[in-house]
Structure 1
Amino acid sequence: MSRPVAPSTVTGKPVGPVGFGLMSFTLPWENVEPSAAVKVMKTALEQGANFWNGGLFYGTPESNSLHLLKHYFEQYPEDAEKVVLNIKGALDATMTPTGSPEAIRASVEEALRILDGVKKIDIFECARVDPEVPIETSVKALAELVSEGKIGGIGLSEVSAATIRRAHAVHPIASAEIELSLFTTDPLNNGIVTTCHELGIPIAAYSPVGRGWLTGKYKKVEELPDHPFARIWPRFQAGAFEQNLKLAGAVGEIAKRKGVTLPQVAIAWVRRQGAIPIPGTTKAERMVENCADVQLSEEELEELQQILKEFPVQGGRYPEQLSGLLDA
């Protein structure tokens, strides 16, 4: 069941075993001062989390994760070559995919403009597949940007196994970003993980702690963040919430028995699937916790599998209005 995590196919340097998602710094429900964010980012690198994942749409056009990255690397220019930077883009203001060659080029140019030379883009990925543009057309446009030296490699996000194969046939794919956790095991059964391992494509697993479920901090619906996003997620709705709490609680019992934290078990499980977890956090101490080298035995993996069978997750990954572009 355990598979090694591949090194970056772009830089050749080892990545992980845990990466770092920059989304947490830009969501309205958890704003963080730049100085505090820089501390977390520095801690991430010190702990070996050198695969950093950001996006042009993580925040506003005037203040997003690219601006934060620029701020960091202006302070620590010596860290630029230590980080494998993965950037998502090619979404318009309505969060609609824009996979045409012109739109992709414009998105990459905007990312480069914001970074202003402080850090190269090692991997660029379209955040979602544009249903109006063949994936081959989008990948060919990205391949031209690779040949021009504007990006180091091509990533994919929320794609099916078939799309991965079609894209990889046009140009080698440097990484595939998917949602993978004990709350989202679909990629293990729909061919995505198998295809990535077969083709040697590193997997970046976002939401490895199930959007907070596997942190243990949610006990009641009333405890959810006071933000519309938290209120419309299907797995947090009344009925589903109570059932999903049972899954989190059962995993928590394993963590307690091991003398580790619930998130550490969740992240260790993702690593055992051969993926690079990219949890986001706003606290340096949480980053240290996330990067701890927690190992799961075969017996513990089997126990977790039984828990998944006993307490199946209730509710979809995204609200219905946002789910149409998943696994495209």
Structure 2
Amino acid sequence: MKDQQAINRRDFLAMTTLAGAGLMAAPLYSFGSISSSEKTNKVENKMKTRKLGTLEVSEIGLGCMNMTGNYNPPADHQQSIATIRKAFESGVTFFDTAEVYGPYLDETLVGEALQPFRDKVKIATKFGFAIDGTVALDSRPAHIKKVLEESLKRLRTDHIDLYYQHRVDPNVPIEEVAGTIKELIHQGKVLHFGLSEASAKTIRRAHAVQPVSAVQSEYSLWTRNVELNGVLDTCEELGIGFVPWSPIGAGFLTGKYDTNTKYDEKTDFRAGFPRFSKEFMPLNMPIIEWLKGYAAKKNATPAQIALAWLLAKSPNIVPIPGTRYQSHLLENLGAQEIEMSKEDVQEIETCLSKFPVYGDRMGEAHMSSIDYTF
């Protein structure tokens, strides 16, 4: 691991917080009298569920990271509370946060928002960073037990439904981490074990000690590393659920950003992501231009197509798009109404294969803590 170095709070957040990554059959939206805008805003209170291992959750979750910063300044507190509760009213039962988001502020927010119906939702949070003014990782057993108690207090709960190791710590054998979580599960403080941005080898080693319910990695139409490095195949083989974070490409796949978009270096870590740079953003625009055209033909939005594609890839995939706005939330949840055939999936992938993706998915500091090389 790289030498620890003191950095200020903003730089620490920019380096360590993380954005919140078989084919199925059926046709896309049927073309009727309902307008695209009506479909965007029409969300039923019922949502299908999926399994992450043995953990049952809504087929689309809510990533709460951006509510306390990272892609923009923190959102209004009451606005965020309202958005989280609107998600629950709309059928979402799976909410994702982490101690490092804020840091700590996001867990506090999620705990307050979900307290009235805590027994009806599943909360995922994460451990693994030494939040001490350095960029270090820390998954020592004693540290895990300490920060778990702190997360429980912030989340106003007596158990964590899904507890992820946020990043694999090269200084602590994964078997020790899995053993610690196994102990916490026996105590009833944790119900399910998860890994984030872990390699296939690490997943297998951890799973042999304590069954892994879910693996979280970045995965979207323009970030498909996990299809090539064995992570998705390993999850499928072992019956582990897969949770794509940044499923709409840190906002890129919404079609709302272009070469004129400015990213504030102080509040938005996309300013340091190569794909969003002045050098590579113009080269990546053909991707979204094609997606916008395809979505228009299907009477949907680009974000809805991106999410529907993920849902169609495997019944074990549960994306967690993040947003701070209710309008975007309802747009994202509209993806559940899109039924996509294997032919539709193949068409999307064939067409997008013509457009290379330029630039790495995250900055160098973020990529340095990833457990695999591509």
TM-score, L = length of structure 2? 0.81
1:304 aligns to 2:345 (yes or no): no
Aligned-residue sequence identity (percent) comes to 32
Quick one: distance in 2 between partners of 1:39 and 1:103? 33
* Residue type at the aligned position of 2:129: L
Deviation digits for residues 177-214 of structure 1 (CA, Å, limit 9, x no counterpart): 11110011111121111111111111111000011110
Q: How does 1:131-210 map to 2 (within 5 A)?
A: 131-210=170-249
The corresponding residue for 1:50 is: 93
The corresponding residue for 2:357 is: 313
The corresponding residue for 1:224 is: 262
The corresponding residue for 2:126 is: 88
Q: CA deviation at 1:46?
A: 2.2
Check whether the contact 2:69–2:75 (CA below 8 A) recurs between aligned residues.
Answer: no
Q: How does 1:81-120 map to 2 (within 5 A)?
A: 81-93=119-131, 94-117=134-157, 120=159
Quick one: distance in 1 between partners of 2:354 and 2:237? 30
Q: Give the alignment's Cα RMSD to 1 decimal.
A: 1.8
Q: CA deviation at 1:248?
A: 1.2
Check whether the contact 2:273–2:363 (CA below 8 A) recurs between aligned residues.
Answer: yes
* Aligned equivalent of 1:19, options 43, 61, 80: 61
SS in 1 for 2:234: helix
The corresponding residue for 1:2 is: 23
Quick one: distance in 2 between partners of 1:116 and 1:48? 21
SS in 2 for 1:317: coil
Deviation digits for residues 211-270 of structure 1 (CA, Å, limit 9, x no counterpart): 1110111122x3133234122101011231111111111111110100100000011111
Give the paired residue count.
319
SS in 1 for 2:309: helix
The corresponding residue for 1:286 is: 328
* Aligned equivalent of 1:126, options 165, 176, 190: 165
* Residue type at the aligned position of 2:264: D
* Aligned equivalent of 1:295, options 310, 330, 339: 339
1:38 aligns to 2:77 (yes or no): no
Of 229-238 and 108-117, deviating more is: 108-117
Deviation digits for residues 32-63 of structure 1 (CA, Å, limit 9, x no counterpart): 222211211112122222111100111034xx
SS in 2 for 1:208: coil
Quick one: distance in 2 between partners of 1:47 and 1:148? 33
Deviation digits for residues 258-299 of structure 1 (CA, Å, limit 9, x no counterpart): 010000001111112221110111111211111112122333
Alpha-carbon distance change, 105 to 45 in structure 1, aligned in 2, over 3 angstroms: same
Check whether the contact 2:221–2:306 (CA below 8 A) recurs between aligned residues.
Answer: yes
Check whether the contact 1:224–1:230 (CA below 8 A) recurs between aligned residues.
Answer: no
The higher relative CO (CA closer than 8 Å, separation ≥ 6) is in 2
Q: CA deviation at 1:6?
A: 4.3
1:66 aligns to 2:104 (yes or no): no
Of 192-201 and 288-297, deviating more is: 288-297
Check whether the contact 1:16–1:50 (CA below 8 A) recurs between aligned residues.
Answer: yes
Quick one: distance in 2 between partners of 1:95 and 1:49? 33
SS in 2 for 1:38: helix
Q: CA deviation at 1:308?
A: 2.8
Quick one: distance in 1 between partners of 2:293 and 2:135? 39
Check whether the contact 1:123–1:154 (CA below 8 A) recurs between aligned residues.
Answer: yes
Quick one: distance in 2 between partners of 1:253 and 1:147? 51
Q: CA deviation at 1:155?
A: 0.7
SS in 1 for 2:123: strand
1:251 aligns to 2:295 (yes or no): no
Check whether the contact 2:127–2:139 (CA below 8 A) recurs between aligned residues.
Answer: no
Unaligned runs of 5+ in 1: none
Q: CA deviation at 1:8?
A: 4.1
Quick one: distance in 2 between partners of 1:120 and 1:321? 32
* Residue type at the aligned position of 1:2: L
Deviation digits for residues 142-170 of structure 1 (CA, Å, limit 9, x no counterpart): 11111111111111000011111111000
